[in-house]
Structure 1
Amino acid sequence: MAPPERRRRTTQRDIARRAGVSQATVSLVISGGAASAQIAEPTRRAVLAAAEELGYAANVAARSLKGGRNRLLGLYTFESVFPTDQRDFYYPFLLGVEEETARQGYDLLLFCSGGSASGAPGTPGAPGEAGAASASGAPRAERSIYAGGTNRLKIADGCVLLGRNVRREELSALVREDFPFVFVGRREVDDGELSYVAADYVSATAALVAELAGLGHRRILYLRAPEDSEPTRDREEGYRRGLAEAGIAVDEALIRSLADPADLTVERLEGWIDGLGITALLVEPTEDNRLTEALATMSGTERVRFPEDCSLALLGDPPSWTPRSRNWTRFSLPRAQMAGEAVRVLVELLDQETPEPRQLTVPCAFVPGDSVGPVRTVRTGGGRPRT
């Protein structure tokens, strides 16, 4: 399939043609200064309407700078990710963006305010976004790049985007208008190609499967997230690849998902061990601590012990980890490195005459932890491995 045609950025000349006025008139209206008062109100409204239709947002800081560059990079988050302390999952991402932005000689502008749920210009909000409610039942404003109908990020030269709950229609709009941005994490849209820096979940998951297979495990259950996101698809691809490389046939019954982490109970895990004969469990962490807390509660009962009764490994970092937490076997995301690479890729795109989308993957690090061990050969009653 041929790549989508790249659209040039809207200029004030384009607005002038659409509104049927001179470019000088457009400049006066867009500037919003005292001189704009001489423009008749109907003309001013026509210019602003044309600007909104064409997706134009004036870069106020860059207007007086040669070449239109203001040495400002943006950081936009699709949900609240700003941490309260260094244990927060997002802290290394934000630190990496800040440090690399300074290293590149740019200033950093944070976009974090709530906005309209109306979505990108001319597009409806995505299902489950518009009109969403908080846990208390009150309406919850969704963040939107295009609040008010225009791209608010254009005050910056380019932007790093971050967050799990993305608005796909807004990513598509950014691609269509050729606004420079890099997403931290693999994200795709149907009508274009975007730049991203992602963790190599495929290789990291395959390596964990190889680790378990090397310890004698053949019945490995993969507990995936219910959403069909790119990171989840990458983890499943790695699971299947790891099994294939170990010479283990894929059993579709060993790929499960849980809509609610509270559903992961001792009884359910005992059923998988006794009924499916699993000896190891790979778990995709959730965005909060409920799943790892359920695992910690389960291991505290002594009914299922990790790794004595079942080996367990996490496919990523727990959302919040302290030295007092269980040291689960896992792979760890190079979060600060990913964020720094995203800034470097963004600056490279800004320096190119005709930038092409770039995708970069960064290796994850294996954390041995204490929840994986060899298969036990002595079994009792229900078929559960015991030492």
Structure 2
Amino acid sequence: MNWLTNAAHARWLENETDALLDFASGAMVEEGFAYLSSEGEQIPAEGSQLWLTCRMIHCFALGSLLGRPGSATMVDHGLRALSGHFRDDVNGGWYAQVGPDGPMDDTKAAYAHAFVILAGASAASAGRPGGKELLEEALTVSLQRFWREDEGMVVESYDRTFTDLEDYRGVNANMHTVEAYLAAADVTGDDTWLERATRISRRVVDDFARNQSWRIPEHFDANWQPLLDYNMDSPSDPFRPAGATIGHWFEWSRLVLHVRAAWAARGVSAEDWMLEGAQALFDLGVTEGWDVDGADGFVYTVDWDGKPLVRERMHWVVTEALAAAAALYRVTGDANLAAWYQLWWEYAAVHLIDTENGSWVHELAPDNGPSATVWAGKPDTYHAVQATLIPRLPLTPVLAPALAQGLLDTH
């Protein structure tokens, strides 16, 4: 039985999409969307964070395109928060975190701004008022503030006024910029965004990853020299963990396949490194990430010899492995990928999907017991929602534009 071609499994995925959107609906607050606890309760001290609010807009835009009543209201609410509470009308861009009394963190980061682009693209695909305008504004900010044409990459973060630029450069922000630029290319019809997504992907995968035995360096100095010892004194950082991050190998594997498919749809032959890199990253993620320490699950990070560094299990790593397996199967038809896909959904159902409190447990200990070393609570449904939809959609266009074109379950 191949679940990737099974209509009954697609119905199960649809039910899980609905359950995740239902859980996420409890996050709505005046300033956007709140950080939720493990029980789905709002945590006021966390305020509304830009990256989370934008991910919620994206998820509810997908819900609206799936015909889920109430989702459009959530999208519109999030768009109002971005145009009001989050927007810096003086300096441009959007604040990183806001509360009832205004900004709680007024920095401007490429990571979060990539999700503003994604939110705008998905809202525009869903036909929500203000979505297209948000997308255009977010792309302008990205191009003027973060993109570096000579480097083919984005820089990391600024202060409130876009004056002081952090010396650090990060692959994580660039990864989500690829995701955002792919969506922008599909929605706007401007292939310049696809070209930029390709340039980032080529440098990260065909250069940085290849030269490090496919273990992607995450942290760099201002000249894009890798900092392989970065954060070794705090290896469990949620955004800048030490070593190499297993889940990002799967995420890059899938994103490269989206890039490859986008060019193919435009009649452009794929570059050799694309499928090679996607396969290599996936294979290494399985070899060095899955069940490497005596228990099922993916370790969070490994060192530069491929040995486990942080052994806690993050829910989002499983979702990205599932999505990458589905994407790579779409390209290769390899039955082994379908087997991994089934095994990882089995793991998710047993250990991660919380049928009592809703959503997915965000972190497990190395023995798959409770843990909150890196992620407390359940603030994020984005990874899991996408894992329920990517197996049901083509590789190009990307999620929201594909749904808008009626391509669900048509591949």
Structure-2-length-normalised TM-score: 0.24
Q: Which has the larger radius of gyration?
A: 1
Greater strand content: 1
